[in-house]
Structure 1
Amino acid sequence: MLDSIKIARRQSEIRQQLAELVGKDSPSEDETRSMETLDAEYRSNETRYRAALIAEDTERREAGAELETREGRQFAELVGQFELRQVALSLDEGRALDGATAEVVQEMRSKGGYQGIPIPFAALETRAGETVAGDQINPKAIRPVIDRIFPGSVAERLGVQRINITQGEVAFPVATDGAVFGWATSELGNVGAASEYKTSERSLNPDHTGGAQMTISRKALKQAGDGLEAAIRRDLSAVIATELDRVVINGSGTSGEPLGIIPGAGTYGIASTAASGADWAAFRAEIVSFMEANAITSPGGVNLALTPAIWAALDDALIDGTAVSEWDRLTGHIGQPATSTVIPDETAILAANVQGVPPGVLGLYGGVDLIRDVYTKAASGQLVLTGLVTADFTVPRGVQTRILTDIADGS
């Protein structure tokens, strides 16, 4: 029993005893001393009761935090022991999964439908201390999933948020109209007509599924051993990261692709402006537009992505009479922009995180659904694997992103 409950019950008993003693017209000396003793104990218990409540509140908070994180932490520990080698051997030889790998697969199957063997995105990270066969390329360190599936990408640098969705649709209501402030024009005048609070909605739907395919030779299956797991993880994470990065920027919205930032500018309400030249002034004009829309309060709140050719043009353009380039002026105000070949020629993207809302949201549904093709390469004993990924992208609020086009890059 909690100490606070014990003390509260004792306080109730003391009050009952005091009520009986106080009700007597002429209490005896023993009864008077008893009242003094009970009164002193009651005051002491009040202090103990407050202390017990404080201590128990801290314990409850710690226990609550433990309960809230225990399930996720235990699953993360299981994912850390996930062996892709078991998956490959299961698909190739029919070997049964065991240990942590079997538990993770069973848990993922219970949360969503998979045709093949489900693989959590976190399993695609390369783990420290792995060794590989000599005929395999050394793995590079990658951070784990949703946070780790595309480190260093242009979408990451622009501030695009990645979320994991178990199933169904996720909607982002965005306020478009709301309260209006007005002054009363007379002593009894109205301060203004009430304005309707309106919202628009951006949604993520599991309508876009892509697949990463690879062929594993019979020789690789027999020779690579544990190194095969690192190779599969490295290849899958690389192609998935590259394609997700591309669709965030250039997804057409057709042929199964999500709608990206540049093709979807009109749909998302993103302003697109032709540049006056390849200089700091062109980017400054866009930053001023951000400020006038109340999206940012300083240039440092802007994330920028551009092509390597634009970087070269800005770095080559020196201010008259100085050794300072237009690139130096640009980075002196907004930090180090990201350069990427994913960005179309003569184009730059400026984005800002406003009030904790990211400029874009990439939703990844479940994990990678790994399926084996038992027919295509059967004659040579090769294993064909397809990793299916369901994802969608949306821009909740177009005013947080701007596109700058026709930037002279000398190409």
Structure 2
Amino acid sequence: MLESVKISRRQSEIRSELSTLAGKADATADEIRSMETLDAEYRANETRYRAALIAEDGERREAGTELETRSDREFADLVAGFEMRQVVLALDEGRTLEGRTAEVVQELRSAGGYRGVPVPLMALETRAGETIASGTPDPIQTRPVIDRLFPGSVAAQMGAQLIQIGSGAVEWPVTTSAVTAGWANGELANVAGPTTYATTDKALKPEQTLGIHMRVSRKAMLQSGDALEQAIRRDMSGTMGAELDKAIFLGTGANGQPLGVVAGAGTYGITSTSAAGPATWAALRAAVVRFMAANAASGPEAVKALIRPEMWSYMDGTEAFTGSGVTEFDRAKAQLGGIVQTANALPTPGGTPPVALLTTSAGGVAPVFVGLWGAVDLIRDPFSDAQSGGLRLTALTTADVTVARPAQLQVVTGLEITDPS
């Protein structure tokens, strides 16, 4: 029991005793001395009570933080033991889910409806001891349970933030007003204003569904559990990660796709400027200057660039200063906060100069928000491959993309990667 609670109870007892003694008209000398003793104890306890509250305030704050994160950690521990093999066998043979896998599925079902077996996104990540070609996980921000992008994701490296949404739409009010300050022109003059404080809502809506279709042969299902577990996870995470990356940047906004950052630069209000010249650090530096002029970045180290491999090849083979051995890529890498290369999230040159995307996280706000609704809904098709004894699986997830502040992104076009001579 907290010390402050003990003191509070004792104070109640003292008040009760004092009220009894104070009601006596002919109190004895012993009773009067008792009242004096109780009164002194009561005053001393008031001081002790205030001291106990101050001392326990820190403990309450720590306990509150512990309670806020405990459920997320407990669920993360459950997901760490989630087995895709059990899900596949449950869909194929009707086998009962057991252990942590059963607990996770039950928890996800209680939060939303699924036609098949719900699979947490975190379960699709490659587990410890496995390797993937694209590298190891490097999330931009630590978030509870499954609120992060897949390992090696270009979107994660460029500062995009993944938002896990249970149901409905999510909006962010973004300030759009231009509040300015002004000096009073004279002793009795008014200062500038008032100026309307305006905001614009940026919404993520569950209108786009990404699907993965997978065939599992009878031979694969009869192999060892770990082999099937790893193969299914690699296939699903790799396919979903690549397609999400592509949609986040190149989504057309039509045919069921979300509107990507690069493809929808004009719609989002993102500044797009043509370099109309060779791909050099000077061409990228102009975009960095625009960031700084708009108060979106404090310096080049706060900016990240997304380029294609063809552009890296040209810049790395072009000397900035003749005979120096310093290439244009070296100059850009030394100045910027990071350079990410991709052949999936930017359009293929195809006879036109490639495009570069620059982003910055101003004030801790991510340049791009990616919303995912619920878990992956894994559905079984028991009929298509019945003759061969195989199994068909469909994994569905709903996602959307939005840009909170267009000033945090810059698109640079017209970056020539061929020698004009």
Taking structure 1 as the reference length, what is the TM-score of the superposition?
A: 0.88
Q: Is the 8 A contact 1:125 1:143 kept in 2?
A: no
Question: 2:356 maps to which residue?
Answer: 348
Secondary structure of the residue aligned to 2:367 is coil
Write the letter of the residue equivalent to 2:239. Answer: V
Question: C-alpha deviations, 1:60-93, integer Å up to 9, x for none?
Answer: 2333233322322222222122221111111111
With over 3 angstroms needed to count, the CA separation of the structure-2 counterparts of 1:138 and 1:357, relative to structure 1, is closer
Q: What is the percent sequence identity of the aligned residues? A: 53
Q: Is the 8 A contact 2:270 2:406 kept in 1?
A: yes
With over 3 angstroms needed to count, the CA separation of the structure-2 counterparts of 1:211 and 1:329, relative to structure 1, is same
Question: C-alpha deviations, 1:31-82, integer Å up to 9, x for none?
Answer: 8976775566456434432342234323323332333223222222221222
Q: Is the 8 A contact 1:309 1:410 kept in 2?
A: no
With over 3 angstroms needed to count, the CA separation of the structure-2 counterparts of 1:43 and 1:168, relative to structure 1, is same
| RMSD (Å) for aligned C-alpha atoms | 3.1
Task: For 1:321-360, list aligned pairs within 5 A.
Answer: 321-342=323-344, 343-344=346-347, 345=349, 346-360=354-368
Q: Is the 8 A contact 2:116 2:379 kept in 1?
A: yes
Q: 221-230 vs 157-166, which deviates more? A: 221-230
Secondary structure of the residue aligned to 2:362 is coil
Q: Could you tell me how far apart the structure 2 residues matched to 1:7 and 1:261 are?
A: 61
Deviation at 1:126, TM superposition (A): 3.0
Residue 389 of structure 1, aligned match among 397, 406, 415: 397
With over 3 angstroms needed to count, the CA separation of the structure-2 counterparts of 1:6 and 1:324, relative to structure 1, is same
Unpaired segments of 5 or more residues in structure 1? Answer: 131-136
Task: For 1:2-401, list aligned pairs within 5 A.
Answer: 2-11=2-11, 37=37, 41-42=41-42, 44-128=44-128, 146=146, 149-275=149-275, 276-318=277-319, 319-342=321-344, 343-344=346-347, 345=349, 346-401=354-409
Q: Is the 8 A contact 2:302 2:360 kept in 1?
A: yes
Deviation at 1:179, TM superposition (A): 2.9
Write the letter of the residue equivalent to 1:71. Answer: S
Unpaired segments of 5 or more residues in structure 2? Answer: 140-144
Write the letter of the residue equivalent to 1:335. Answer: G
Deviation at 1:12, TM superposition (A): 6.4
Q: Is the 8 A contact 1:278 1:313 kept in 2?
A: yes
Q: 50-59 vs 349-358, which deviates more? A: 50-59
Deviation at 1:228, TM superposition (A): 0.6
Deviation at 1:105, TM superposition (A): 1.4
Q: 355-364 vs 184-193, which deviates more? A: 184-193
Q: Could you tell me how far apart the structure 2 residues matched to 1:152 and 1:102 are?
A: 29
Q: Could you tell me how far apart the structure 2 residues matched to 1:94 and 1:338 are?
A: 45
Q: Could you tell me how far apart the structure 1 residues matched to 2:138 and 2:415 are?
A: 34
* Count of residue pairs brought into register by the alignment: 405
Q: Could you tell me how far apart the structure 2 residues matched to 1:177 and 1:139 are?
A: 42
Write the letter of the residue equivalent to 2:204. Answer: L
Q: Could you tell me how far apart the structure 2 residues matched to 1:312 and 1:168 are?
A: 45
Deviation at 1:10, TM superposition (A): 4.0
Q: Could you tell me how far apart the structure 2 residues matched to 1:223 and 1:153 are?
A: 30
Question: 1:134 maps to which residue?
Answer: none
With over 3 angstroms needed to count, the CA separation of the structure-2 counterparts of 1:252 and 1:58, relative to structure 1, is same
Deviation at 1:20, TM superposition (A): 11
Secondary structure of the residue aligned to 2:364 is coil
Q: Is the 8 A contact 2:370 2:401 kept in 1?
A: yes
Q: 64-73 vs 117-126, which deviates more? A: 64-73
Q: Could you tell me how far apart the structure 1 residues matched to 2:330 and 2:241 are?
A: 30
Q: Could you tell me how far apart the structure 2 residues matched to 1:336 and 1:140 are?
A: 16
Deviation at 1:18, TM superposition (A): 8.5
With over 3 angstroms needed to count, the CA separation of the structure-2 counterparts of 1:315 and 1:128, relative to structure 1, is closer
Question: C-alpha deviations, 1:73-117, integer Å up to 9, x for none?
Answer: 222222122221111111111122222222221221222221111
Q: Could you tell me how far apart the structure 2 residues matched to 1:267 and 1:201 are?
A: 15
Q: Could you tell me how far apart the structure 2 residues matched to 1:91 and 1:19 are?
A: 73
Q: Could you tell me how far apart the structure 1 residues matched to 2:220 and 2:325 are?
A: 55
Write the letter of the residue equivalent to 1:367. Answer: A
Deviation at 1:326, TM superposition (A): 1.3
Q: Is the 8 A contact 1:173 1:199 kept in 2?
A: yes
With over 3 angstroms needed to count, the CA separation of the structure-2 counterparts of 1:141 and 1:325, relative to structure 1, is closer
Q: Is the 8 A contact 2:171 2:203 kept in 1?
A: yes
Deviation at 1:309, TM superposition (A): 1.2
Write the letter of the residue equivalent to 1:356. Answer: G
With over 3 angstroms needed to count, the CA separation of the structure-2 counterparts of 1:245 and 1:21, relative to structure 1, is same
Secondary structure of the residue aligned to 2:192 is coil
Q: Could you tell me how far apart the structure 2 residues matched to 1:198 and 1:16 are?
A: 58
